[in-house]
Structure 1
Amino acid sequence: MCLILVAWQAHPDYPLVVAANRDEFFARPAAPAGWWQDAPDVFAGRDLEAGGTWLGLTRAGRFAGLTNFRDPGRNRVGTPSRGALVADFLGSTESSAEALARLQREGPRYNAFNLFVSDGDTLGIYESESGAARLLEPGVHALSNHLLDTPWPKVRAGKARLFRALQALPDDTPLVELLRDDRPAPDAELPRTGVSLAWERMLSSAFIRAPGYGTRCSTVIRRDRHGWTHIQESTWNEVGRETDRVVESFQRTRA
């Protein structure tokens, strides 16, 4: 997952709004979002190679979303799949704060990543590169493949467009449109993350098309103040054409 925009308690009627793109190699098999047979309260896509997920929710109000930290020179071979961290949190009953404490202990085992976790009442972020973990205040937050709110072009543009999109709710169209923005950033604004300039250009847009790699799915989530969660997820092929769409709604249940 390479872009996750979250509006947390930033709208009086929609305490959680998420717009997220998952970017991945097309050769890596994945299942679209759905209810998991082996964890019936979990709604998420699934990585069919390692079994985890990049983003998901539960009937109890839990939410988690992960991005990798882009630094090719520091990737280690043989580390566990980071998608298991999302699945493990969704399947647990730990609070956001408890999960952050656990991630600080376990995070160094994995290649670098960032992880949003929410127990439904609080939202937190863990950044393995810095080791920082904290609960977040209400507002609009964004992750790409660096630390939280790093002002990469897609992060700045995405946050600005999310602020505007909140005014249109419950119409999801502006959220869908911001995730489909495939305009690259000017070279002068590109980060330098250890990939070639050509790849920095291709990776700089919210919606990515690159050889063998790109935006695989776009997910829009809004939870209203009555506990109803509405999800729309589109799956894209290598040329950016929609091949599947999942729409789901459910009401939060409390233990």
Structure 2
Amino acid sequence: MCIAVFMWQAHPLYPFLLLFNRDEYHSRPTKPLGWWEGAEILGGRDEKAGGTWLASTTDGKFAFLTNFREVQSIPQAKSRGELPVRFLQSKKKPLDFAEEILTEADQYNGFNLVIVNIHSKSMVYVTNRSEGGKSIATEVSPGIHVLTNALLDSPWPKAQRLGHAFKELMDKYGEGELQMKEMADELMMDTTKDDEGLLPDIYPPETESHLSSIFIDTERPLGRYGTRSTSSLYVKSNGEVYFYERHLEKDLWKEQTVAYQIEK
């Protein structure tokens, strides 16, 4: 299902920083963080459908995706994971690309997509499940935002917990250097579950309870499901990018970090 907290254009040293948990079935084949062969894309990769949930490029573009929690699905829908890849390979500005996606958004199951161009200081949010089921694209305002499996900044309890904890930690660090790995450890490993009365009430209560924590580890009808990876990513004002991932591989947690400079 995935959950992300991010800050956009609201810190003197970091125009963009992001913490992201990817939730997926443990059996789904996945490549960890790395440069894609034959492409200038850095990120993890879904080996089943070929897409990604979070990736970036050296020319200052970033994209991340969450699924929308819903009961009904479209048979033979296009893979949502292709949307970040298409943006990263596109030459279009975020809003222009978003407008293109809106024309075909009904071919996908519910998604939330955030696309970023650091050079143009543009961040756009796209979803095909806004009020009334409409598809929308909108510029994201500066500040702290949380994205779960509902609309951006929806007040789900887990989203509010993560947003508050993130703000408290940012207040603690102030305007100084951040320790993104430590932030990921402190914020994204939270296994606190919500009381039944606070659950979104989309799936059965027991399922909703298991999915109500920031870090998820549960059994579902198709097998073990939960947080497969935690990522932290930041862009510094000088164009330096730091991309850290902790991922689960055969029940062992492995870590890696990639740093690079955005091309001018």
TM-score normalized by the length of structure 2: 0.91
Whole-angstrom distance in 1 between the partners of 2:59 and 2:152: 26
Identity of aligned residues (%): 33
Which residue does 2:80 correspond to in 1? 82
Are 1:143 and 2:147 counterparts? yes
Summarize deviations over 1:37-65 as a string: whole Å, max 9, x none.
121x2101000001111111111111111
Partner SS state of residue 181, structure 1: coil
Aligned twin of 1:157: 161
Runs of 4+ in 1 over 6 A off after TM superposition: none
Shift of 1:176: 2.7
User: Offset at 1:165?
Assistant: 2.7
Structure 1 unmatched ranges of 5 or more? none
Displacement after TM superposition at 1:19 (Å): 0.4
Alignment-derived partner of residue 253 in structure 1: 263
Partner of 1:176: 185
Aligned 8 A contact 1:94 1:119 in 2: no
State the secondary structure of the residue aligned to 2:109.
coil
Q: CA deviation at 1:185?
A: 1.2
CA distance in 2, matches of 1:23, 1:50: 16
Measure, in 2, the Cα distance between the counterparts of 1:94 and 1:196: 41
Q: TM-score, normalised by structure 1?
A: 0.94
Q: Structure 1 135/206 Cα, relative in aligned 2: closer, same or farther at 3 Å?
A: same
C-alpha displacement at 1:177, in angstroms?
1.5
Are 1:176 and 1:220, in contact at CA under 8 Å, matched by a contact in 2? no
- Are the equivalent residues in 2 in contact too, given 1:99–1:117 (CA < 8 A)? no
How far is 1:178 from its partner? 0.6
- Whether 2:61 is the aligned partner of 1:62: answer yes
Aligned match for 1:218, one of 230, 241, 249: 230
Listed as ranges, the matches of 1:17-32 within 5 Å are 17-32=17-32
**8 Å contact from structure 2 (residues 188, 214) kept in 1:** yes
Relative to structure 1, is the Cα distance of residues 9 and 242 closer, same or farther in structure 2, using a 3 angstrom cutoff?
farther
Deviations 1:81-131 (A, max 9, x none): 100111111111211111111121121110110100112221010011121
Return the alpha-carbon distance in structure 2 between the equivalents of residues 203 and 27 of structure 1: 18
Q: What CA distance in whole angstroms lies between the structure 2 residues aligned with 1:26 and 1:13?
A: 36
Say if 2:184 and 2:230, in contact at 8 Å, map to a contact too.
no
Alignment pair present for 1:124 and 2:96: no
How far apart in 1 are the matches of 2:139 and 2:34?
A: 28
Question: Gaps (5+ residues) in structure 2?
Answer: none
The one-letter code sitting in structure 1 at the alignment partner of 2:79 is S
One-letter amino acid of the counterpart of residue 226, structure 2: G
Matched, 1:196 2:195: no
Partner of 2:194: 185
